[in-house]
Amino acid sequence: MTKTLPISWHFAQAGAMSAALASKLSISWFKLFVLSMLAYIFFKKDISIEFTMGAQSHRVGEQAAVSPARQEENTKMSILPAVFHESEEIEAKPVAEIKSAKPKWKDRTANTFSNLTFVLSPDYAERKGIDPAIAEEKIAVCKDYVTRFAPVAIEEMRQFGIPASITLAQGLLESNAGDSRLSVESNNHFGIKCRTKCRGCTCRNYTDDSVFDMFRVFDTPWQSFREHSKLLNSARYRHLQRLDVTDYKAWAHGLKKAGYATDKRYAEKVIKIIEELRLYRYDQQA
């Protein structure tokens, strides 16, 4: 015989089940809330966690329990530039920045170059990255030589018919603007050698030449200029006297053809010196 339970009993059972379910849900939400708070604290707050192994401690994270004002102060301080020693600062800079900070010009001195280098090749300094001050210094030496000996060259032109520009250009080239050993020690500005029969003259040999190459020794540079004029009036060069005294190009090529020098570019060099230093202006005073 089936016993019918009163409706009140069913309501009581349903209420009990609801209470139990509500109790479980309350516990789950509470756990979820606690876990959320722990996660928030872990990620949002600076907490130091120390793991102790033996006598050593390893610190993870940043300082704990720092006030917001203190954190802001630390942040501002961290973006200030650090103070380096000079060597540390160079190491800290990027390679590109270090390269750009290097001097533009190569580390060379004026003694590295001949006095005529920047006259014969005006763009040499720019092409080779050489300090323009070095080129200016060398060109100034050449101009000083011209100023010193232009009156002598003009006088020799008037007496012997040799263009003053040719005399000056050859003197510059042969003596390195008066700085060669031959010109300094022997006052020989044109590389003039001793004649086969040299009476009453002094000659000297230089270690960089053949033992048979004897060069004239003069008491003054002027004597060297006068001997140059006599040489260009000798039979070997006498045909050049037919050239116009203002035609320095023809004179330069004529000297090369007559064998004044073995350099294949001798005529071009003489012409370049004349044009760069405007030596042709002295020929107008013939």
Fold of the domain built from segment(s) 117-186+219-285: Lysozyme (1.10.530)
Mean pLDDT of 96-122: 75
- In Å, the largest CA–CA distance within the chain is 168
* Separation between Cα atoms, residue 50 and residue 152, nearest integer Å: 95
* Separation between Cα atoms, residue 126 and residue 276, nearest integer Å: 17
* Separation between Cα atoms, residue 189 and residue 172, nearest integer Å: 8
Domain residue extents for the chain: 117-186+219-285
pLDDT, tens digit, for every residue of 50-96?
444 444 444 444 444 444 555 555 544 444 444 334 444 444 455 55
pTM for this predicted structure: 0.62
Please report, for the chain, how many H helices and E strands are present, in that order.
12, 4
pLDDT, tens digit, for every residue of 187-205?
999 999 887 666 667 777 7
Name the helix (H) or strand (E) containing 146.
helix 132-160
pLDDT, tens digit, for every residue of 255-275?
999 999 999 999 999 999 999
**Which residue bears the tokens 């102790």?**
52
Mean pLDDT of 150-176: 98
Residue 27 DSSP SS3:
helix
